[in-house]
Structure 1
């Protein structure tokens, strides 16, 4: 059967986290760069479709194509490693330390940001004819997104910051569910279907994804968005990263690990000698 049961795919989650910890810095950054670039292209595509059709649901339905492609090619997003890599530490895999987890997160962040920034610049060039004309309708939309999701939060003060954080939590709850859903099937079609559903939910609901925002906000600044670099980091990227860091491990990684990996081991463990059923004398002779 194509379906993989929870006990088995949770083991795959732990194995994947361990493999990412020991990946070379070069491979980690390259894979993260490509993931950031592909997801940025998908975000640009989704915004373009939304503007041209006037229907946000259509853009959200098509956005997951980028996530599916980057996952199938083995590239890494910060949101995914937030959930998978700590499991190798919790499972006490040999050689996995907190510093190696933080190293992986740092390298993936740098790679994702570089990839997303590259596409942000390319899209700004395309939408302005190399900055010689005003942004077209798609460019204006990207700029307005940047403004509404930085200054828009700041206008509400602490309540805005809490809202931003919660949106980051909910985002990686859905995105990490997509990462795990891909491990539930052995077929490409099954993986794609599993990934598509939660990614559609996060994008349509307007949750905050740290890597998508690495594209939207730098490109928004290039396209005339009415906000600053400090607005971007303080009122979006940093709280979003923290929210993503909480949401994925807490609602996906730890819950699955606790109820499938740890529980299955407890059930499979041999009974203590005093609890073993004693065989009748005539059978043990």
Structure 2
């Protein structure tokens, strides 16, 4: 009897050792799986849509203000840099500060909800059209107003040295060069907008995947550096640049910024975020999505 009891105890000890080894060898993941990220997008989209209008609009104002801070920081970091690679890297890192503040604070950015809200709608039945359109329009207007108000405060502060404004003019020329190509240039901005929000959608994807603050900032920075370096037209980012441009430069008028850049870029952003990120991943991981969004 004793020998049998000893054998059983030995077996129990071995099982405990095996369990311990498995625990040690398989640490918990520090990121969400893609299907979980799509779930999270849908949850965020639903939460934004169901907020009171005052909360939606205030968060849109906040997101727009962060875009101007990001634009200003990207210009400041690039002043005096001659090497193109370093110039693009620093400029992109500067703007990623604005996006990090948006993603982490929960502010409502038009180009982010182009990813979040479709992820919710693709996984539920019925479209609440009136509230959706109201939300999209209010977020866009709120972003513009927030971006412009911060630009006004910055101009009133008189904080920047004279070297800032020539650098800002270079950025504006880079953004508005498509205007010289007429109708072709308008559609080039639209296609560039598709690419831009594809990248920003992936920034939201990587940021949502990360489960700590460092991972979220790094996940934001990589796609943002790419879209800034490639001069892809992102309407929310351009709101920050153009708000400063309207106040500091007379090279372009406000309606030229809107008609020849923001309008086609915004259309492209909607296509890029909704189709190339939200729709694509929603259907790719349809069988893995386990939330009750569509039920």
Of 69, 75, 80 in structure 1, the residue corresponding to residue 101 of structure 2 is 69
Deviation at 1:126, TM superposition (A): 4.2
194-203 vs 120-129, which deviates more?
Answer: 120-129
Shift of the 39–249 alpha-carbon distance from structure 1 to 2, 3 Å rule, reads same
1:165 aligns with 2:209: no
Secondary structure, counterpart of 2:233 in structure 1? coil
CA contact (8 A) 2:193 2:266 kept: yes
Q: CA deviation at 1:226?
A: 1.3
Cα distance in structure 2, aligned partners of 1:120 and 1:250: 32
Contact 1:164–1:240 under 8 Å retained in 2: yes
Query: Within 5 Å, which residues of 2 pair with 1:169-208?
Result: 169-208=194-233
Show the 5 A alignment for 1:39-50.
Answer: 39-50=67-78
- The 1:179–1:226 alpha-carbon spacing in structure 2 relative to 1, beyond 3 Å, is same
- Name the SS of the counterpart of 2:231 in structure 1: coil
Number of aligned residue pairs? 258
| Cα separation, 2, equivalents of 1:119 and 1:211 | 14
Instruction: Give the TM-score, by structure 1 length.
Output: 0.84
- Name 1:136's counterpart in structure 2: 162
- Please name the residue that 2:8 is paired with: none
Please identify the structure whose Cα radius of gyration is greater.
2
Q: Which residue, 78, 84, 90 being the options, matches 2:116?
A: 84
Which residue in 1 is equivalent to 2:136? Answer: 105
The 8 Å contact of residues 71 and 94 in structure 2, kept in 1 or not, is answered as no
- CA gap of 1:127–1:136, structure 2 versus 1, over 3 A, is farther
Q: 2:88 aligns with which of 50, 53, 56?
A: 56
1:106-121 counterparts in 2 under 5 A?
Answer: 106-121=137-152
The corresponding residue for 1:7 is 35
Structure 1 vs Structure 2 CA RMSD: 2.1
Q: Distance in 1 between matches of 2:240 and 2:139?
A: 15
- Structure 2 residue 212 is matched with structure 1 residue 212: no
Q: Distance in 2 between matches of 1:193 and 1:222?
A: 32
Go from structure 1 to structure 2 and tell me whether the alpha carbon gap of 1:127 and 1:159 turns closer, same or farther (over 3 Å shift).
farther
Partner of 2:288: 264
**Higher mean C-alpha displacement, 27-36 vs 136-145:** 136-145
Unaligned runs of 5+ in 1: 130-134, 267-285
In 1, are the aligned partners of 2:88 and 2:225 still within 8 Å (CA)? Answer: no
**Aligned equivalent of 1:28:** 56
Cα-to-partner distance string for 1:245-277 (whole Å, 9 max, x where unaligned): 1111111101110011x23369xxxxxxxxxxx
- 4+ long deviations beyond 4 Å: 126-129
Structure 2 Cα separation of the partners of residues 144 and 223 of structure 1: 13
**Residue ranges of structure 2 left out of the alignment (5+ in a row):** 1-28, 291-295
Distance 2:157 2:88 in 1: 22
CA 114–265 in structure 1, closer or farther in 2 if over 3 Å, else same:
closer
1:176 and 1:252 in contact (8 A); partners too = yes
What is the CA distance between 1:225 and its match in structure 2?
3.3
